[in-house]
Structures are given as structure tokens and as C-alpha cells.
Amino acid sequence: MKLEPESMAEAITSGDRLILSRVLTLIENYDPIGIEVLSLLFQRTGRAHLVGITGAPGTGKSTIVNRIASYLRHVPQEGQLKPPEIAIIAVDPSSPFSGGALLGDRIRMRDLSGDPGIFIRSMASRGALGGLAHTTADVAAVLDAAGYDLIMIETVGAGQAEVEIASTAQTTIVIDAPGLGDDIQAIKAGLMEIADIMVVNKADRPGAKKTLKALRNALMLGHPSKPAKLNQASEDGQPEMWLPPVLSAVATRNEGIEEIVAAIQEHRRYLNHSGLNTVRERERRIAQVEYLLRERLAYEFHARHPAKHFDGVIEKVLAREFSPHQAVQSLMQDA
């Protein structure tokens, strides 16, 4: 059955998961119909809390996401009339580091799938890593409009693309685990900078205390200014600055999950109260629109110009007649 974008948008807002899945696929395939549905739904976005979960392969991200979701679905939270609806996006950038992760995710996530309040979506990149963060943001926007209160995005922290995906979220959790090697993985991968919350999972394993200590030290070094004021209440009871808490967990035994959930909620309050949410959203939107503009301009350029012309300019660069800068100048002159 072929549906118009308007009816698809409507179906999504009234909870039709089949149409939701279909539209997410359209979006992943850069189908203009999917983009149209997203645009129709966009006004309804802005309610959900987006949480990114990243870290080295095998640190326990899926297990933690799983446990957070079941915790929130089963343990009533203060001031909540009903359990939150939760969407999980498992992003597999198909990097050599995470080969096979997707299948594992599906298996381990299975115990959640009977719950109608949880929606799980696996996403794989089809080569275009640069666009994956943007597609993830679009997918999250549709889930937001669909009414999910919490959207968790799991990505393997193995490179710049993953860091980018994680930073599309409002709260970023970096998962580390002991025994991954001599160096602390999260520090090495440059993940500390994007962490709002750090978790040392597998605290049942040897070396967990050392990992915790190393992360806490590294974090303090990264916040040399005003350490006395960090996470300390100002007059109105809110922290002045956010020092990422370093928590420990044994996800497989459900230990530390409550504390992670509390930290997420506290970070959300901090974002709203400090105005940082607005600042970050503006930055994210600028980056998003700039990216789409660049894509669009390049697309339209190529659509209007014969490939032969472009190839000719490349030949000139290869013959050292043009520098790459001159090549662009020449292409733009003819545009």
C-alpha cells in the first residue's frame, strides 16, 4: 500500500510502528519521501531526551542500555505517572572494530523486545560514514516526534565518526572497562572530552579500581579552573559547572544502573537549568544546516555540470597545471 507523507506522519504520531520502521528505512536510504515525513513531523520534536552511549568495543554498552531501559520501565520514577517510552538506536558503523556487533546486539536486546514501550532500531552505515551522524540525528528526530521520551543511541567509540554520532545526543555517556590494555581506552580514543557521564563497567573484573582512579584524575586535569565550584550547589541548589561523574557498574549483575539513571536525570536538569541545552542545541543546528547546505550545493553543482568538465579539471590538477584550489576556482567560475 502506498501512503502519502501526510498519512505516514499521522500514523507515526498515533503509534503505528510498522509505518515508523518504514519511514526510518526511507530516511536511512536518503529517500526524499522520508525527508518529507521528517519535515512534517519536525514541529513535534524537542520533547525527548537523547542519550548517547559510546565506548570501546565490548565494554558493555548494549548490556547497560538494556538494563537502563528495563530499570526505567519497571521502577517507577518520582513525578512520573507512567513509565517512559524508550527508543534504542544501535549504530553499527561497520568498522573493522565492530564487525559482528550488530548480530550480538540483536540477540542481547531480545529480552526487551516483548515490551511495547520499547522500540529498538539497528542502523548500519552504507559506506558514507560522514553522513551517518546526520542520518542518526534524523532517525532520532522521528522517534522524538513519535513520542518516545528517552532515546538512547549506542555507538562503538572507535573513531571520529562515532564521536560525532555521540555528540548528536544531549547527554553522552562514555563506557570504559578494566583490562582492555595498559592504557585507559577512553582517554586514548579522545572520548573524555565528550563525556557528560563516565562509567567503568565490569567492576567485577581486576583492575577496576585503578581504571576508576585514572579516569577521575584525568577528568580533574581537564578541569583545572575553579575545581572547588564543580558540581557544588549555588544559592538555588544547582551546580555551577558540570564535572562528569565517574561511576562504576557491573551491568550483568544490574549493579550501578540506578546510579547511572540518576546521573542522566541530574544532567538533564543541569542542562535545562544552566541554559546549556539551548547553547548546545544552537551549535548542533548550525552544524546540521551547514552540513546539509554543503551537501546540497555540491549536489546541485554536479547536477548542473557535465561530469566531463569536472574530470577535465581533475586532469589539470594531475598534470600540475592547476592546484586543487585553482581547480575549485575554475569550477566556480563556470558555475
Ligand X SMILES: Nc1nc2c(ncn2[C@@H]2O[C@H](COP(=O)(O)OP(=O)(O)OP(=O)(O)O)[C@@H](O)[C@H]2O)c(=O)[nH]1
Which residues contact ligand X by CB under 6 A? Answer: 57-63, 98, 101, 104-105, 108, 156, 201-202, 204-205, 250-252
> CB-wise, 105 or 144, nearer to Mg ion?
105
CA distance 129 to 108: 25
Restricted to residues 128-187, the positions that interact with Mg ion (CB under 5 A) are: none
Nearest-CB residue for Mg ion? 62
69 contact partners, CB below 8 Å, separation of at least 6 = 86, 88, 112, 118, 152
Binding partner of 115, given Mg ion, ligand X, none, CB within 5-8 angstroms per partner class: none
DSSP H or E stretch at residue 247: strand 246-248
Lookup: cell for 153:
543511541
Nearest alpha-carbon partner for 98 in 166, 159, 151: 159
> CB-wise, 92 or 196, nearer to ligand X?
92
Binding partner of 60, given Mg ion, ligand X, none, CB within 5-8 angstroms per partner class: ligand X
Part of the chain binding Mg ion (CB under 5 A), chosen from 53-61, 157-165, 219-227, 302-310: 53-61
Nearest alpha-carbon partner for 69 in 55, 90, 93: 90
- b/e per residue, 143-180, with b = 16+ CB within 10 A? bbbbebbbbbbbbbbbeebbbbbbbbbbbbbbbbbbeb
Binding partner of 131, given Mg ion, ligand X, none, CB within 5-8 angstroms per partner class: none
> CB-wise, 12 or 156, nearer to Mg ion?
156
Binding partner of 205, given Mg ion, ligand X, none, CB within 5-8 angstroms per partner class: ligand X
For the bound state, the minimum distance from the C-beta of residue 150 to ligand X, rounded and expressed in Å, comes to 18
215 contact partners, CB below 8 Å, separation of at least 6 = 176, 184, 186, 187, 192, 198, 200, 246
Contact characters 55-94, Mg ion, x per CB under 5 A? ------xx--------------------------------
Binding partner of 84, given Mg ion, ligand X, none, CB within 5-8 angstroms per partner class: none
For the bound state, the minimum distance from the C-beta of residue 250 to ligand X, rounded and expressed in Å, comes to 4
For the bound state, the minimum distance from the C-beta of residue 61 to ligand X, rounded and expressed in Å, comes to 3
CA distance 205 to 17: 40
Please check whether residue 207 is in contact with residue 179, taking contact to mean a CB–CB distance below 8 angstroms.
yes
Cα 227–chain centre separation: 29
> CB-wise, 8 or 171, nearer to ligand X?
171
> CB-wise, 98 or 125, nearer to ligand X?
98
Instruction: Give me the residues that bind Mg ion (CB under 5 A), please.
Output: 61-62, 105
